[in-house]
Amino acid sequence: MKIRTAVFPVAGFGTRMLPATKAIPKEMITLIDKPLIQYAVEEAINAGIEKIIFITGRTKKALEDHFDINVELNNQLELSGKKDILKDMKRISEMVDIIYVRQKYMLGLGNAVMCVKDIVKDEPFAVILPDDIILSKTPVIKQLIECYDKVECPIISLMPVAKSDTTKYGIVKIKEKIDSRFSRLKDMIEKPEQNPPSNMAIIGRYILTSEVLSALDKIEKGAGGELQLTDALKYTATYHDVYGYEFEGKRFDCGTKEGLLEATINFAASNEKLKNILKETVYSLNIF
Ligand code: G1P
């Protein structure tokens, strides 16, 4: 079955980015000139995704407004002749149809993903965590879809991390290497406190199948007292193939100020219009 749907869990509070996220959702934080969520949605659209589901919560109205038509703004832009901006505003609201599902309690990523069970039914689907912004030639979710088309099993995006950082991620154990980037997985542990099984971390791009949804029904709460998607994948891997793919691209954790700063500098460096101002600013700071 073709991957047509992408699920975006966006109900979290964003406490790591307070006070910036006190009144706005963390997904609306700006990277250069667009909110994080727009990068993630554009990644999905560029990968051929047709249907988008936001798992949202009470404080997330700004996300709905961002992808909706703002008639007053459009009229004003029309009157003042700002055609290019108007075109971009229309592009955003016409980009895709979004289904909104409410996650009532913050019970973890596994719980968020379970909220789509009745919508996706037996179809495989993509999951994108918009905090993880990835600069890449080919959208990372497209890289995973291409792997899925070959094996039709759940696939997790992977990235090597420093051993000291393994406590911050889901960490996998590889069973068998298929090629330099693609492997069959044996096991995975969410945020291991000690003895991580490797230094290969799970990053926020997944292809999931109905087996993983069934596993979410069977597992208990895990790390942090939350229902963990990693635990459902671990359960699935005990009786079904689960794969990992070391994606091509540079990932930034935009749920932290360090990651957002790094992303801002990298995106500016890869933008023809901003490259020079970045160079001049860094040069004038004389910090090296
Ligand atoms: C989630 C996942 C974790 C993964 C991480 C990547 O954790 O549970 O397995 O490594 O995203 O960003 P979170 O960062 O939401 O705590």
Apex CA 157: angle with CA 123 and CA 124, to 5°?
0
Atom 9 (ligand 1): residue with closest C-alpha? 170
> What phi, psi does 101 have (nearest 5°)?
-125, 135
The verdict on the CB of residue 169 being under 6 Å from ligand 1 is: yes
Q: Return d(Cα 273, Cα 173) in angstroms, integer.
A: 43
- Given CATH 3.90.550.10, say whether it is the number of domain 5-285: yes
Rounded to two decimals, what is the model's pTM? 0.95
∠ CA 177-180-184, rounded to 5°: 25
Pocket of ligand 1 contains residue 63 by CB under 6 Å: no
Pairwise CA distance, residues 203 & 208, whole Å: 14
Please say whether the beta carbons of 67 and 92 come within 8 A.
yes
| 204 Cβ closer than 6 Å to some ligand 1 atom | yes
Q: Distance between terminal CA atoms of the chain?
A: 53
Residue whose CA lies nearest to ligand 1 atom number 14: 169
Domain boundaries, the chain: 5-285
129 lines ligand 1 (CB under 6 A): yes
Protein residue with its CA nearest to atom 6 in ligand 1: 203
Instruction: Provide the residue-wise pLDDT of the chain in tens; the chain has 288 residues.
Output: 899 999 999 998 888 899 999 999 999 999 999 999 999 999 999 999 999 999 998 888 899 888 888 899 999 999 999 998 889 888 888 878 899 999 988 899 999 999 999 999 999 999 999 999 999 999 999 999 999 999 999 999 999 999 999 999 999 999 999 999 999 999 999 999 999 999 999 999 999 999 999 999 999 999 999 999 999 999 999 999 999 999 999 999 999 999 999 999 999 999 999 999 999 999 999 888
